[in-house]
């Protein structure tokens, strides 16, 4: 229960961090804004394709750690 509370607090703090929303470089923004709508949508899909496997691995590791801690507590 303590771990769950700690994780929720950390996630809440990180979600409101102003630096978390300022991770775009100026060159990337300038290049993307000067492309057509179709190219911008392609960039969106490319970003999604790159984020999905990393997010799946992250969630998988967290799930495995949760199961391991639950079985150790029982």
pTM (two decimals)? 0.55
Helices (H), 1-74: 2-15, 26-33, 37-73
Could you state, in order of their start, the residue ranges of all structural domains in the chain?
25-74
Q: What is the pLDDT of residues 19-71, one digit of tens each?
A: 656 666 777 778 888 999 999 999 889 989 999 999 999 999 999 999 998 88
Tokens 């750690």 correspond to 65
CA 11 centroid distance within chain? 11
């Amino acid at each position: 229960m303590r771990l769950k509370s700690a994780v929720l607090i950390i996630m809440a703090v990180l979600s409101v961090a102003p630096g978390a929303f300022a991770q775009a470089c100026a060159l990337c923004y300038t290049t993307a804004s000067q492309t057509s709508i179709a190219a911008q949508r392609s960039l969106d899909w490319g970003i999604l394709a790159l984020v999905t496997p990393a997010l799946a691995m992250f969630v998988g590791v967290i799930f495995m750690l949760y199961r391991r801690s639950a079985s150790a507590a029982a």
